[in-house]
Amino acid sequence: MRTAVSGFLVYVVAFAVLQAAYPWSTYYGNFEFGWWPTLSSYLVVAGLMAGTAALTTGLLLKTPSSSVILRAAGCGVITFAFAVMVSFIFGPGGFNIPGTRVRGIFFSEWQFLSFLFLVAAPVSLVAGILCGWAARRQLRSTSS
């Protein structure tokens, strides 16, 4: 349950941060991107970030011998490392998900670097905080 809550909250935060860093109005009205490829691009990238955070939280909750701070930091670092890998695959690697504009919106030219600083860093921080919250709740439930 904690993993699902963490993943959902990271999804919401990631979607909001994507909207702030890459406003919908810039890509939907000013380019020839349709509404569905544009929306699906935001949903997919937010989902990638949330999925990574949820998976990492779930795995790190299975290591109760580690401290809460260590698990929270690990979750944030792993989420950020995954975002770095994804940004290089989509950016310089030239990969795109068919039916979306993921590469065109978030990773084209040098946008992948902006993605790392404007989206991946704050979302990874939130992922780490939520993982720490989940680890703390787990610690409280097992000690009582």
Q: What is the pLDDT of residues 110-144, one digit of tens each?
A: 888 999 999 999 999 999 999 999 888 887 777 66
Of 43-47, 61-65, 67-71, 129-133, least confident by mean pLDDT is 61-65
> In angstroms, how far is CA 115 from the centroid of its own chain?
11
| 105, two tokens | 């919106």
Asked if 57 and 130 count as a contact pair (C-beta separation under 8 A), the reply is yes
Q: Give the C-alpha separation, 58 to 137, whole Å.
A: 13
Cα angle 46-94-107, degrees, rounded to a multiple of 5: 40
Rounded CA separation 137/135 (Å): 5
Residue 32, pLDDT above cutoff 90: no
Task: Check: CB of residue 102 under 8 Å from CB of residue 62.
Answer: no
